[in-house]
Structure 1
């Protein structure tokens, strides 16, 4: 069955008008894509019309081909324009839904503050790092060996009574001081050594204005050839002057610690009275032997103090318990 040129022309022109009307009535990108396939897909209407060109005389085919290209380009242009309109409308709708009213007051988010305990630790670390020390850390759960025996405090030593200890069912314990960090570090390193060991400690202390069962401590250790008690006093003096100022009175009192000999307590004058803030001394030769150091060649000094005590002096705090209550009225002062 043959088909005339006029019939194909009419079909193409009719298809163009239908496409114009259909594109004008589209309401979404999805429907637009469906319409595009209906016209230009392999089984689309334009393909079906052009399939009839094979029945035309050869001289008529260029005429129909030119018209078909014209119709195709016009429909494609309309589809592209409509797609841009839909895309622009989507962008405008998104902008409208996400518009920020810059005249509205912003949501208030208070600035955070460093807790006085942490700020004190940071301050101490900065001073000792400036003096050439390295910050060292260790486990909070310790063995009896590292917490006591390696620090010259064997099982039957009466000095153990000085520290009420939290023991665990497996025989380990919560460290009572960060002195255990010194043993770990010396076992892994050779002199010269200069370290500072901050961390949390635990003792079954009765809680009052100056004591807590959980507290923070910082230990200092230096081991080298020829260190003396004079080096220890000079280091502590420089440190305390950096912390509290050169005008703060300081005194050393003879004392006893199982892991240092000789030993001393260090006091500062606070609110008109002397307040003990740290203990210190020369490292006992037995401690050096435990870690494999030759006490005939090396000497060392150590010191330790509670961070909370220093924070109380720095900020004139009257009760240690204020540091743990998370009372914003108190913390917002810092």
Structure 2
């Protein structure tokens, strides 16, 4: 039996379509997909596209509102359109559960958070958070130029960064995140719009929790840990080891999906954690592992890329330089 590298386990697809979404299917499944492709899929595409266009128009029209009303109206309607878009994608029901609150030490505080830290599995993660709290988030560079989506992200006051940013560019985005969170923690910023951060730095298949980067913890401000757990079904909403077009097709060609959102108590850092972002990051990660069935993994983006290269039969790249 082939030995599986433990660092590849968080990136393997665990649905019926397998890695890369090309696992051979029986005739019955091919027929089912064919029927759904010409019936349900077009309706889903039209519905989701309508939500994006509708919210884009809301963002444009909000420009005429008084400054004090722009963000509250945009956020309220943003939550509505995000939830409606999720409905059309197939998330008819989203279960939300508060965990750990009964055993939480209230002496640590339980006030508003300056940021949301969440595990990262899919492109639908952002929509799920938008439907709940409509946060700002760090988007990939170039997002601001995408038709419709770009203007929406600007209205959400997103920060943009290149994935491979190094040196001054990486420090610049970290400083911007830190400043935004400190501003929110001071009470001067809008409490209903914290930063949404995915400290793992990449997506996994939802079974493991990867090491946390320190960017979300540099401000030493309270954070709201959230764990997303997608339900098992014909197709996994987790975006792993599969091309974006193939994943989007399978997601829309299957009728329904499920997700449970586990909300942990706001984590208020100690003085030691405020002075040591790496310690703060490790402790929040352990806190999230404690209240979930996720498995710890030390795999990083380089390991995911190595796994993808293996699946494609490409030469393995040097992953000694950890990311």
Choose between structure 1 and 2 for higher RCO, CA contacts under 8 A separated by at least 6 residues: 2
Q: So what's the TM-score if we normalise by structure 2?
A: 0.24
Instruction: Flag the structure with larger Rg.
Output: 1
Q: So what's the TM-score if we normalise by structure 1?
A: 0.23
